[in-house]
Amino acid sequence: MDGKNLLVLTSAFPDSENRSTGGIFVKEQIQEIKKYFDNIYVISRNSIFSKYFDQNNFSNYSFENVNVYYMDSYNFPIPYLPHILRGFWLNIESKQLLKVIRSKKIHFDLIHAHYTWYCGSIAVRLKNKFHVPVVITEHTSNSMNQAIKNNDAVWIKTWEDADHIIRVKSSDIAQIEGVGIPKHKISYIPNGYTQYKFYPRDLKNCRKLLGLPLDKKILLYVGNFYDPVKGHVHLVNATKELLRVRKDFIVIFIGTGKLKKDIEDYVTHTNLSSYIMMPSGRPHDEIGLWMNACDLFVLPSLSESFGIVQIEALACGKPIVATKNGGSEEILIADEYGFLVEPANPRDLADKILKALDKQWDQEIILHYAEQFTWEKIAKEIMDVYSKILDTEGYVK
């Protein structure tokens, strides 16, 4: 991609110090892709209200050949409004985006939009104006399924106008084809993990660094507390089931969000405070340390599009117990890597956790399996998509 510039549109992107981790996977992807381009320009939405309520500093910044810009945006429940009102809002957001492009004198040869709504919808509006191809990666699960179920005109038109669609979940390819998108325009490319952050380390040393007990089995959950769909309460209830069999363990929840206080209160109410730890939110760069300190990673989600934390845990050599949530089935494809359980079923979750704690896992098998998800390998697949559409007649410059 010598001489080429990439424009990335995303609905969230970490600040310069990664204090806000929304969109961290986009940043990590760019960290690997940047070596293929002269310049990468990232434009992320930033709610105009965040400056009053968000402690993170979303100021423009740059690193190496990557320039990050935050665009003022209005947070309204737009996806639930009628088609005509969504179109009106897209016009406003598109004008805001154009202001950034023109004021910063951004020149680009390709647009990669993360999420169909809203970044993909804006990207295809820029396509003809700048005569550049558009790639869209769809990361959601529930939103995408609802759009397909409702035959959502905005989503379908966006996919039709895009040059290529990347889906992080292979089983959804047929659904996208089902609304009329040609198969040759769709690729399955999963998300990845960063090797220098997630790799096997000595369990005892990690526990000493974190002040964790050496004589307990540790079960770890990492994720947000913004949506009940993450299944926190089911892991708490599974803890009660585990205590019927053994008491030599602790469960650690790491994450932030509006529901965390409710879960903390529930833990106290159920007298489980001696077995469940809920430390404050930890920086993303520290998560690998916590994963290496655990014996087992647990993901109780009711729905996942992919579930990046799973491959991060595998990259640390840790087995997983996860629900059949739509994403985990495509990662835990064999019992050598972990066990799948029925969603919203604390007893089944507890049974599989007990089974996992008693199993002798082969860490080398787990690590070897995780290698396919490194960002280095995933980036090459993405670059193949870029090369294919840039070589298409009409886009070669």
Output the DSSP codes for 166-201. Answer: EES-GGGHHHHHHTT--GGGEEE----B-TTTS---
Contact 397, 371 (CB under 8 A): no
Distance CA 7, CA 315 (A): 30
**pLDDT < 50 positions in the chain:** none
pLDDT at 212: 98
Tell me if 123 sits within 8 A of 134, measured CB to CB.
yes
- CA gap 13, 52 in Å, rounded: 18
Q: Which amino acid is at 168?
A: V
User: Could you give the CA distance from residue 268 to residue 274 in angstroms, rounded to a whole number?
Assistant: 9
In the block, tokens 């007298």 appear at 271
Q: Which helix (H) or strand (E) holds 31?
A: helix 24-33
Distance of CA 25 to the CA centre of its chain: 6
Tokens of 70: 């935050």
CATH number of 203-373: 3.40.50.2000
Classify residue 201 by burial, with Cβ atoms within 10 Å: 0-12, 13-18, 19+.
Answer: middle
Q: What share of the chain is helix, strand, coil (3-state, %, to 5)?
A: 45, 20, 35
The pLDDT, as a whole number, for residue 80 is 55
d(CA 49, CA 39): 30
* Tens-place pLDDT, residues 320-346: 999 999 999 999 999 999 999 999 999
- Taking CA atoms, 14 is separated from 93, 121, 173, 317, in Å, by 20, 22, 29, 27
CA distances from 367 to 13, 207, 307, 362 (A): 29, 21, 17, 9
Cα–chain-centroid distance for residue 36?
Answer: 23
Q: Would the CATH topology of 5-192+374-390 be identical to that of 203-373? A: yes
Query: What is the per-residue pLDDT for 88?
Result: 82
Return the pLDDT at 86: 80
Q: What is the dihedral of CA 299, 304, 307, 313, to 10 degrees?
A: 10
Q: How many CB atoms are located within 10 Å of the residue 372 CB?
A: 11
Specify the DSSP class assigned to residue 249.
Answer: E
CATH number, domain 5-192+374-390, options 3.40.50.2000, 3.30.470.20, 3.40.980.10, 3.40.50.300: 3.40.50.2000
Whole-angstrom Cα distance, residue 168 to residue 307? 10
Q: Dihedrals φ, ψ of 134, to 5°? A: -125, 130
In this predicted structure, what is the pLDDT of residue 165?
Answer: 98
- The H or E element that residue 227 is part of is none
In a 10 Å sphere around its CB, with 0-12 CB exposed, 13-18 middle and 19+ buried, how is residue 329 labelled? middle
**Whole-prediction pTM value?**
0.92
Rounded to whole angstroms, how far apart are CA atoms 385 and 365? 30
Domain ranges across the chain: 5-192+374-390, 203-373
Which of 65, 54, 68, 64 lies closest to 16, judged by CA?
Answer: 68
User: Which spans in 187-300 are helix H?
Assistant: 203-210, 232-242, 260-269, 287-293
